[in-house]
Amino acid sequence: MIKYNPKKWFSLIFQFHRSDTFRILLPSMILIGLYTAGFTYLELEVVEWRDGATTTVHSLLGIVLGLVLVFRTNSAYDRWWEGRKLWGALINETRNMAMKIQAFLPEDDLHNRQFFSKYITNYVYAMKGHLRGKINLAELELMQELPLQELEKAKHVPNIIATAIYIKCNQLYRRQLISGDQFIILDKEVKALTDIVGACERIKNTPIPYSYSLFMKKFIFIYTMTMPLGFITSFQYWTIPVVMFVFYVLVSIELIAEEIEEPFGVDSNDLPMEEMALRIKHNVREILSNTHRSLVTGH
């Protein structure tokens, strides 16, 4: 995700990056310009058709196209923002879970604190990789409770890690290291993690309906390809840059919507999941550390 200062708007005008739509669309804009130039030359110099065209049809269709693009952009941004809220909830849930484990476990139980410190972090990194379609097992801190061979064969690694956390909580209850009420509290925290990954999967696995996406692309293509028919009489050879600019604006909106509607990828405008996962890792370790407990208890 690109970080920037929105108040420095003048410098942003001349800033280019790898996801900038102008750079991506430049080859297509050149083709559209060549097509429009050939069409304009044919009409003005060969056919000599200098009257009779009108921009009325394109003006009316432009209103409809604008409304459709607004809905398209809003629906894509809603998916991006929902993904951000879910990762914000993940940050809060992991903190809550770590704080409750720190309070519930006996003061000298360092092994179980270490387990939860590693496995809460493992869940977050596994969730990040799961949403991107490939999990980097090197990011996970494994213990004897969860061997690497089991994770390599798993199709849903976050579920495996959540199950290991559930088993550990149940063991703590059976050994009477935590009470029944505390076990129920931890059960809700683990359930919240599963609910979050499920909601993220809903966004990832439910794209914009195919018919709607196909209609948008066809509408934009037909609209821009027929623009010379309506604009040549009024703009003549100025029709070339006008059509190129309109094509750039319309297709850019569609490209931006396509990028942000899938917020869990690695594009420039996708969610900074690496940064948020690292923040969770530091927060959980700090909460479950002995230093943090000594500050609270005064020992």
Tell me how far apart the alpha carbons of residues 56 and 53 are, in angstroms, rounded to a whole number. Answer: 9
Number of CB atoms found within 10 A of residue 237's CB: 12
Tell me how far apart the alpha carbons of residues 99 and 292 are, in angstroms, rounded to a whole number. Answer: 10
Task: Please report the pLDDT score of residue 72 as a whole number.
Answer: 87
Task: Please report the pLDDT score of residue 53 as a whole number.
Answer: 59
Contact by Cβ (8 Å): 280, 90:
yes
Q: Tell me, what amino acid is at 173?
A: Y
Task: Please report the pLDDT score of residue 120 as a whole number.
Answer: 94
Task: Please report the pLDDT score of residue 165 as a whole number.
Answer: 92
Tell me how far apart the alpha carbons of residues 168 and 187 are, in angstroms, rounded to a whole number. Answer: 11
Tell me how far apart the alpha carbons of residues 279 and 269 are, in angstroms, rounded to a whole number. Answer: 19
* Global pTM exceeds 0.85: no
pLDDT along the chain (299 residues), means of 10: 58 61 86 89 72 70 86 90 95 94 90 92 93 86 71 86 92 93 93 95 89 87 86 82 90 88 86 93 89 53
Tell me how far apart the alpha carbons of residues 250 and 247 are, in angstroms, rounded to a whole number. Answer: 5
Task: Please report the pLDDT score of residue 48 as a whole number.
Answer: 65
Q: Taking Cα atoms as reference points, which of 272, 270, 252 lies closest to residue 21?
A: 252
Task: Please report the pLDDT score of residue 113 as a whole number.
Answer: 92
